[in-house]
Structure 1
Amino acid sequence: MRIGELSERTDTPRRLLRYYEEQGLILPDRAANGYRDYAEYNVDRVVQIRGLLDAGLPTRIIKQILPCLDKPRAIYFPDATPEMIATLETERDRMSDRIRCLTRNRDSIEEYLGAVLDYNRAPEPVA
């Protein structure tokens, strides 16, 4: 598929797809005319990349772990350095902190919303 179709199917701007290509996160084939030709699996790959970016992982880490995400039952990472492991642990802990914060905020909003809805459903006092 061409870049426009991948952009539409993933709701990702073309410029961002080209950036992912520059970073080595996605690798399109090239047609004889030089146009990018993306395989079907790139749809899921782009969605996965965006999710990891939204979670706060930098592209340099995403590039290293993407091969492991294709086959999660067969993870083998012979070139994992102590620095990379420490970075991943730090990122995991940072995500856990964000999850706790988001959960606390969601629960507060839910409590407030419940109170507002209960108030709005309460019968009018009879005079």
Structure 2
Amino acid sequence: MSPPGIRQHGVRPGMVAVDPSAASFHAQLRRAGLAPQPAHNKVLSGIRILMALFSADKLRIHSSCKELLKEIDGYVWDPKATERGEDAPLKQNDHGVDALRYAVKTTQHIWRPQINIPLSQGDREDERAT
């Protein structure tokens, strides 16, 4: 079975970033003839990058992405983690946001040289680790 869009529109993505823990999805994509790449899935640095891009008006979400826009609007932080002085999102209704974060973080080696967005200390540490 082909992934959605391939047969209908001739779309064949150049890269598919997938959560490294999704082994069965990786296998399914390989059977479909795609080469999934392990996504850079560090949550906080990915969120910081998205926030920096949105703040600098370097990333926009099209109005046709209704479910993603709802998820972004409903993204919430865990109040118990906040009480402990930690930043941690609540993991609910966030599959689209996760996919966006994976795509942006995993491809930053392509787009980052084109725009001027400063890296935070945590992002610099992540860059050295990847």
TM interval, shorter chain, is under 0.3
User: TM-score, with normalisation over the residues of structure 2?
Assistant: 0.26
User: TM-score, with normalisation over the residues of structure 1?
Assistant: 0.26
Q: Which structure's CA Rg is the greater one?
A: 1
Relative contact order higher in (CA < 8 Å, ≥ 6 apart): 2
